Structure 1
């Protein structure tokens, strides 16, 4: 059911791209161009999702010689998850965050910022890596990359629509008429909002699942709860710089989620995630006690 929901939401994003193509360019030509753009974005994201996301944040390969402990941690957790060890990258940013990308476990990468390595303890960092590996295991990385790529294209077309609306003109022939200025204005302001809401629907439930997966991989839900608390505070002070369309890939939103901003956050409230992790810890302790008695 979750996979069907995700496919439906991705289809909505593609349809939105086609619609904005119609409003920006006008007529059947706009629809055709929108369809071509949607197809190119989907195929491009499928084959190059890892490279697109890594480039969006300026991530660089991190060799075993540069970070032997981090590589050993990633390899150990990957074996527990039963997937190939992903490539490891570092984002040269003081902002504390992390993300995973790739179309499948065989073509995956995990990226951490310099800030997160300096901020978290070893147990907390291990929990974050477990969270990202769960995204790879569940193939969330492909879904999020496709959504981010299409969402970014929609934002760029919406920006074009703002300028196009200033010089739009009408023609009697529907098939040849230029773009409708009212439609352009609607596309410019409503399309990015709709794309963000769809990305939120795709991302939020998957974060809870990845948190639970990390807790099981590490047998330490409290470590991830502690990491999320630190990351939330760090994101408010030093946000990571990058394309906002790729925000769903990050482990926490790179901006403060308070007030109105929380309504448009691509992640669930951090406190809600922490509470679920602590509840999972209680369940795990209860199960251990029952097995010993």
Structure 2
């Protein structure tokens, strides 16, 4: 419940930031209405199109039960246990090892895994990864992350638009008061940064919850812990290239660099996630 509340607060802050910079940068009621309109449109697009956009970004290909029988067997078993419809399954070509889930709700969800993940993980480790992705679907994280990514993108677009207006249009606006200098500075420089920080904080919060849900769904937290360690090691050797906006959807940070501080990580550290999973293992053992 704590993670759900934290996510709601962060999403509210992200939407509020979009509306606020519209108010200060564009001006008065016009800016306020513009910000609300952008927030509404971006949320609507995320609601209906997020799955198609994410799958296309990673060139994910649909697979049938005949093409991936092991994958379907695991997902069908876990879906039945979680009491949700079996999601559509996709495979992303290439040797990179990662996975993600997308879709606005369990009835319209999809899970995608890379070919690389099927090559390097054992069956129980694959099960842990798939349980993690199914937990994202159960918790509606797939929609939450899509909305946060879209709003953050809208904030960056608005900042870029304001920057162009300063270069080419001056600082006056038809029928509105002059642009607030502090508002302009905040919009162009700090707002996109703040939006990214909030978006990434949402992603990190949801990853911990999905790990915990997967551990309870499979009853095997250690398998997911091993999978995360293998996936991180592979990501260091073969970073996965795609649109950065979709990185929070992935089960593991797709980039190999360690220069990023915790504030700008798309995921919690693998060490922290493994430690949390081993604590859950101890809790499960104590209940037997």
Judge same fold: TM > 0.5, yes or no: yes
Deviation at 1:207, TM superposition (A): 1.4
Quote the Cα distance in structure 2 between the aligned partners of 1:99 and 1:208.
15
Show structure 1 runs of 5+ residues with no match.
289-293
Partner of 1:40: 41
Encode CA deviations 1:175-229: one digit per residue, 9 max, x unaligned: 4356556644432221221112211332222212211211122221111111101
Deviation at 1:99, TM superposition (A): 1.0
Give the RMSD, CA atoms, in angstroms.
Answer: 2.4
DSSP 3-state at the match of 1:63 = coil
Partner of 1:218: 218
Deviation at 1:22, TM superposition (A): 4.5
Partner of 1:291: none
CA 1:40–1:124 in 2, change beyond 3 Å: closer, same or farther? same
Quote the Cα distance in structure 2 between the aligned partners of 1:194 and 1:94.
34
Quote the Cα distance in structure 1 between the aligned partners of 2:239 and 2:192.
21
Quote the Cα distance in structure 2 between the aligned partners of 1:59 and 1:179.
45
Quote the Cα distance in structure 1 between the aligned partners of 2:17 and 2:212.
32
Partner of 2:107: 106
Quote the Cα distance in structure 2 between the aligned partners of 1:63 and 1:211.
27
DSSP 3-state at the match of 1:273 = helix
8 A contact 1:42–1:150 mirrored in 2: yes
Quote the Cα distance in structure 2 between the aligned partners of 1:33 and 1:133.
36
**Aligned pair count?**
287
Partner of 1:274: 274
Give the TM-score normalised by structure 2.
Answer: 0.89
Partner of 2:12: 11
Give the TM-score normalised by structure 1.
Answer: 0.87
